[in-house]
């Protein structure tokens, strides 16, 4: 009998492997991860550029670039929740639930899968940086990757936690839109949030993406709104809480 830790790691690894296999097979998602950033950079960037002119001393397209990366992470990380709904609908979840691996390893494997997928998609977004004149230093790049991992982990956990309690595509689609849109728009990703009414500012300050975007903008453009420590503590704590919530909710499934 293997120890729990080994069984946990092994189970997570197997679950993760399957998600990777599925991801590599899904060409549409791959194309989407190219198309989406282009779309947003063009639609938002070109469209709003004249209105904003200079945002915090930088060009608008450069300003929203970290936000576009964040958006890629938000969408694909939340999508990992969808994969649980999908597995449940097609009955495959039962196959996993009756397997002799700990339940927690199913959650962990799914969160890892969601994180990896988000990283791949977010990574693809980074390719566009040179095209819009964003220059990232090596140190900036390394810290950017680290920040992206934390954000992806946090949002994947959130997606899994949601999916543990929602049982239909439609339900998850609706709820996740309610979550994704505020996460994205109320994070300072596309416009500065200092001028928002105070009640909206409350939401902004609770939104983990706010701190993630702040960190990424700091890494890429060297502009911070909060302190690095503040950012890191909040988003990491939020991620850990979401991870635990996902484990608890999924266990009871």
Sign of CA dihedral 175, 181, 184, 186: negative
Distance CA 135, CA 93 (A): 44
Strands (E), the chain: 54-55, 58-59
Within residues 11-40, the interface with another protein by CB under 8 A covers 11, 14, 17-18, 21-22, 25-26
Tokens standing for residue 195: 């001028």
Smaller CB separation from another protein, 21 or 135: 21
Smaller CB separation from another protein, 93 or 204: 93
Smallest gap from Cβ 170 to another protein, in A, equals 20
Q: Determine which residue in the list 58, 101, 235, 242 makes contact with another protein, applying CB under 8 A.
A: 101
Task: Indicate whether 108 belongs to the interface with another protein (CB under 8 A).
Answer: no
Instruction: Count the helices and strands in the chain (H runs, E runs).
Output: 11, 2
Distance CA 71, CA 237 (A): 21
Task: Indicate whether 99 belongs to the interface with another protein (CB under 8 A).
Answer: yes
Asked if 88 contacts 194 with a C-beta cutoff of 8 angstroms, the reply is no
Q: Determine which residue in the list 96, 180, 213, 221 makes contact with another protein, applying CB under 8 A.
A: 96
Task: Indicate whether 97 belongs to the interface with another protein (CB under 8 A).
Answer: yes
Task: Indicate whether 94 belongs to the interface with another protein (CB under 8 A).
Answer: yes
Q: Count the site residues for another protein by CB under 8 A.
A: 22
Which residues make Cβ contacts (< 8 Å) with residue 54, sequence separation at least 6?
A: 60
What is the contact surface with another protein in residues (CB under 8 A)?
A: 10-11, 14, 17-18, 21-22, 25-26, 87, 90-92, 94-102
């Amino acid at each position: 009998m293997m120890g729990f830790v080994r069984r946990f790691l092994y189970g997570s690894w197997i679950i993760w492997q399957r998600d990777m296999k599925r991801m590599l097979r899904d060409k549409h998602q791959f194309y989407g991860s190219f198309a989406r950033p282009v779309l947003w950079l063009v639609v938002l960037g070109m469209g709003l550029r004249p209105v904003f002119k200079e945002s915090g001393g930088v060009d608008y397209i450069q300003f929203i670039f970290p936000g576009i990366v964040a958006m890629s992470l938000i969408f694909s990380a939340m999508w990992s929740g969808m994969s649980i709904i999908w597995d449940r609908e097609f009955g495959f979840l039962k196959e996993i639930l009756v397997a002799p691996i700990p339940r927690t390893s199913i959650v962990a494997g799914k969160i890892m899968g969601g994180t990896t997928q988000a990283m791949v998609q977010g990574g693809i977004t980074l390719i566009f940086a040179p095209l819009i004149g964003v220059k990232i230093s090596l140190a900036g790049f390394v810290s950017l990757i680290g920040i992206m991992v934390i954000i992806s982990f946090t949002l994947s956990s959130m997606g899994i936690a949601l999916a543990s309690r929602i049982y239909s595509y439609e339900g998850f689609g609706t709820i996740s839109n309610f979550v994704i849109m505020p996460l994205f728009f109320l994070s300072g990703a596309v416009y500065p949030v200092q001028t928002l009414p105070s009640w909206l500012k409350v939401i902004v300050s609770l939104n983990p993406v706010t701190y993630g975007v702040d960190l990424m903008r700091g890494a890429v453009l060297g502009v911070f709104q909060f302190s690095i420590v503040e950012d890191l503590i909040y988003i990491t704590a939020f991620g850990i809480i979401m991870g635990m919530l996902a484990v608890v909710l999924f266990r009871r499934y």
